Amino acid sequence: MSPLSCPRARLSVDLDALAHNYRTFATLADAARTGAAVKADCYGLGLDHTLDRLWREGCQDYFVATLAEAAAVRQRLPDATVHLLGGLLPGDVPALRGLGVQPVLNAPEQVAQWRHDAGAGAPCDLMLDTGMNRLGLRPDQLAGLDLDGLTLDLALSHLACADEPDNPMSEVQRDAFARLARDLPVARRSLANSAGIARGTGFAFDLVRPGIGLYGGVVHPALADRLRPVAHVEAQVLQLKTIGTGDTVGYGATWRATRPSRIATIAIGYADGYLRGFSNRGAMVVAGTRCPVVGRVSMDLVTLDVTDAPACATGDWVSVLGGGISLDEASQWSGLTHYELLTTLGHRYDRRYLGQQ
User: How are beta strands 231-243 and 248-249 bridged, if at all?
Assistant: unpaired
Q: What is the pLDDT of residue 357?
A: 56
Q: What is the rounded CA–CA span in Å between residue 203 and residue 32?
A: 10
Of all residues in the chain, what percent are helix, strand and coil, respectively (each to 5)?
A: 30, 25, 40
User: How are beta strands 9-14 and 151-156 bridged, if at all?
Assistant: unpaired
Q: What is the pLDDT of residue 99?
A: 96
Q: What is the pLDDT of residue 118?
A: 87
Rg of the chain, C-alpha, whole Å: 23
φ/ψ bin of 278: left (φ > 0), alpha (ψ from -120 to 50), beta (otherwise) = alpha
| DSSP structure class, residue 355 | S
Q: What is the pLDDT of residue 143?
A: 87
Burial of 323 (0-12, 13-18, 19+ CB in 10 A): middle
Q: What is the rounded CA–CA span in Å between residue 283 and residue 102?
A: 43
> Is the pTM value of this prediction over 0.85?
yes
DSSP, collapsed to helix, strand or coil, labels residue 47 as coil
Q: What is the rounded CA–CA span in Å between residue 204 and residue 191?
A: 7
What crossing angle do the helices spanning 48-56 and 67-76 adopt, rounded to 10°?
60
Q: What is the rounded CA–CA span in Å between residue 131 and residue 134?
A: 8
Delineate the domains of the chain, giving CATH numbers in brackets. 15-215 (3.20.20.10), 231-354 (2.40.37.10)
Tens of pLDDT, residue by residue over 286-318, are 999 999 999 999 999 999 999 999 999 999 999
Mean pLDDT by 10 residues, the chain (357 residues): 70 98 98 97 97 98 98 98 94 95 96 88 95 94 90 97 94 97 96 96 97 96 95 98 98 98 98 98 97 98 98 97 96 97 95 86
**What is the rounded (10 degree) CA torsion for 33, 39, 42, 44?**
-150
Active-site amino acid positions: 39, 251
Sign of CA pseudo-dihedral 50, 54, 56, 62: negative
Q: What is the pLDDT of residue 260?
A: 98
Q: What is the pLDDT of residue 209?
A: 98
Contact 149, 112 (CB under 8 A): no
Contact 75, 69 (CB under 8 A): no
Q: What is the rounded CA–CA span in Å between residue 28 and residue 104?
A: 25
Tens of pLDDT, residue by residue over 29-73, are 999 999 999 999 999 999 999 999 999 999 999 999 999 999 999
